[in-house]
């Protein structure tokens, strides 16, 4: 008897040690009343740099929103906002620097220049700071103040343009070129042409999704900015899963989803998407079908994600999820189908915009009744706005004045031309 007692006590002791070390123990947790086996995962080892934390983002199953919308299929969201700067652009930025350094296009202590809606500039200035480069970022008029402040925090010089147009003689790309010509040892990263972008997602995002899902993906949804994510990831997924369908999500008013890339461009409030041209980094042959969303579709869904699923993403993520759910309803997808949605960036970049009730009311995305219910106030209502802060017809261009001191930019100011 004593021998048996000793044996069982010893066995329990060994199990306790195994649990403390995390050696193959299987834990139970309760989610919505269902018991789920979760094998304990290994922790990341010590990283030599924050750059090693780029990628390997979580894939989360949505629960409440699909059910409320009557969507039967499984929807998984790839949380790219958990990259170091809060967006999927960290993947592209890291690869852009690596490829440029290999090709000898970047000189030590040089300056990178980029035109951006914000996230690319944020990621590039982040990587530039770590690799010892300067950065000059040309941002659109709609780039959130949060993004501007964060880029400044990484040491970037910011030029906030008077419009949202990238292409054309008065666009941000032309402005970036003029800055490049005025700064010695500078390098234009050119996110809309640089194939290091799609390659980054082909090598990382596509591989991650395949491994995370065990190769079970029926539909993949992503919005179009540069098109790098959908092009690179879509290409890899189609190689690994021939049956997968890639669905492009584009805001109403963008020319990317137009068959010939032509038409009437209408600026949108959703940052990072909606262009007046089709970038070279966008491989439309990868896309099997298109869904189009409005700013209101995107922003209302973004706020629902935060409230109902606890997921704080940016406006484009809301637009992509709205598109996925509408696609599922339209095509009567069943519980046997799995949809994967990219959530490109964090909602923390939009605390003064999408997350802000006053801003949502001022631009007509929520009604007065909705605003009063949200704020529980009967005080004076905010002044309503319409359209752009600056009328499009007055956004012809901006001439740049560059003041230099010791070969570095001390001030970059824009002189608006009416």
Q: Which residue has the tokens 């001191």?
A: 405
Per the rule left: phi > 0, alpha: psi between -120 and 50, beta: everything else, 86 is left
Report how far residue 331's alpha carbon sits from residue 177's, in angstroms, rounded to the nearest whole number: 45
**DSSP line for 190-237:** -TTT-THHHHHHHHTHHHHHHHHHTT--SEEEEE-SSSHHHHHHHHHH
Please report which helix (H) or strand (E) contains residue 77, including its range. strand 74-79
Cα dist from 334 to 78, 212, 238, whole Å: 21, 21, 22
Alpha-helical runs (H) found in 89-171? 89-102, 119-131, 145-153
Q: For 268, list phi and psi in degrees, rounded to 5.
A: -120, 160
- Give the residue numbers annotated as catalytic, written as ranges: 89
At 66, is the secondary structure helix, strand, or coil?
helix
Reported as type and span, the H/E element at residue 116 is strand 111-116
Query: How far, in Å, CA of 331 to CA of 78, rounded?
Result: 22
Task: Identify whether the C-beta of residue 314 lies closer than 8 Å to the C-beta of residue 349.
Answer: yes
Report phi then psi at 79, rounded to 5: -85, 75
């Amino acid at each position: 008897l004593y021998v048996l007692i000793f044996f069982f006590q010893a066995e329990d002791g060994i199990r306790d040690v195994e649990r403390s070390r995390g050696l193959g123990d299987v834990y139970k947790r309760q989610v919505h009343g269902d018991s789920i086996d979760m094998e304990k995962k290994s922790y990341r080892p010590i990283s030599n740099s924050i750059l090693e934390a780029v990628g390997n983002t979580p894939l989360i199953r949505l629960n409440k929103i699909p059910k409320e919308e009557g969507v039967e299929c499984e929807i998984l969201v790839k949380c790219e906002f958990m990259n170091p700067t809060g967006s999927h652009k960290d993947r592209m930025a890291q690869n852009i620097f690596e490829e440029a350094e290999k090709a000898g296009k970047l000189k030590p202590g040089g300056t990178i220049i980029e035109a951006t809606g914000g996230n690319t500039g944020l990621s590039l200035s982040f990587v530039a700071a770590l690799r010892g480069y300067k950065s000059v970022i040309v941002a659109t008029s709609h780039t959130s103040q949060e993004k501007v402040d964060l880029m400044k925090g990484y040491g970037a010089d910011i030029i906030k343009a008077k419009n949202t147009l990238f292409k054309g003689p008065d666009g941000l790309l032309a402005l970036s070129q003029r800055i490049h010509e005025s700064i010695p040892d500078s390098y234009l990263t050119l996110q809309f042409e640089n194939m290091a972008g799609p390659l980054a997602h082909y090598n990382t995002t596509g591989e991650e999704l395949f491994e995370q899902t065990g190769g079970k993906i029926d539909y993949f949804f992503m919005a179009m900015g540069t098109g790098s994510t959908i092009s690179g990831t879509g290409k890899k997924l189609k190689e690994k899963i021939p049956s997968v369908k890639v669905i492009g999500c584009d805001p109403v008013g963008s020319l990317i989803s137009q068959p010939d890339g032509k038409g009437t461009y209408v600026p949108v409030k959703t940052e990072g998407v909606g262009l007046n041209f089709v970038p070279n980094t966008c491989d439309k042959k990868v896309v099997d079908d298109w869904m189009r969303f409005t700013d209101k579709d995107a922003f209302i869904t973004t706020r629902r994600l935060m409230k109902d699923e606890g997921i704080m993403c940016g406006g484009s993520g809301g637009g992509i999820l709205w598109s996925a759910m509408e696609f599922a309803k339209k095509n009567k997808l069943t519980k046997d189908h799995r949809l994967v949605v990219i959530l490109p960036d964090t909602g923390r970049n939009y605390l003064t915009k999408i997350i802000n009730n006053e801003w949502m009311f001022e631009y007509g995305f929520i009604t007065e009744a909705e605003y009063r219910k949200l704020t529980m106030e009967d005080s004076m209502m905010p002044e309503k706005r319409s359209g752009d802060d600056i009328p499009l017809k007055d956004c012809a261009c901006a001439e740049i004045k560059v003041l230099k001191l010791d070969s570095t930019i001390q001030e970059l100011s824009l002189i608006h031309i009416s």
